[in-house]
Amino acid sequence: MAGKFVLSKAANGKSMFNLKAGNGQVILTSQMYESEASARNGVESVKKNATIDAQFSRETSAKGEPYFNLKANNGQVIGRSEMYSSASAMENGIASVAKNAPTAEVVEA
């Protein structure tokens, strides 16, 4: 099963998306967007940047958990991962985004 972007509306009326792997696990979560059109533009940006390793910033939370951000060319964060248990698990997450995002379909929640 292929990955997919799931567009949804938050309780505050703003739009967002999750990129889900083929197994249904969320591998990337967007910021909140003012409109669905802006969220769809964010999806396109993820598709464009997901295969460029330099666009991923590898981070560590205050609790010492690894996670990553995917950034657009302008440096803006377009998606953030969950917290991982290890750096190798985080690298697997990055690989999953790179594999799934470019061809993922967009569906509405």
Residues of the domain holding 12: 4-108
pLDDT digit string, tens, across residues 7-28: 999 999 999 999 999 999 999 9
**pLDDT digit string, tens, across residues 67-86:** 999 999 999 999 999 999 99
Question: What is the band of 2 on the pLDDT scale with cuts at 50, 70, 90?
Answer: confident
State how far the Cα of 101 lies from the Cα of 98, in Å rounded to an integer.
6
Report the mean per-residue pLDDT for the chain: 96
Model pTM score: 0.93
The DSSP letter of residue 101 is G
- In total, how many domains does the chain have? 1
Task: Report the C-alpha gap between 30 and 35 in whole angstroms.
Answer: 13
Which CATH number is 20's domain given? 2.30.29.80
The H-assigned helical ranges of 50-102 are 87-100
C-beta separation of 5 from 17 below 8 A: yes
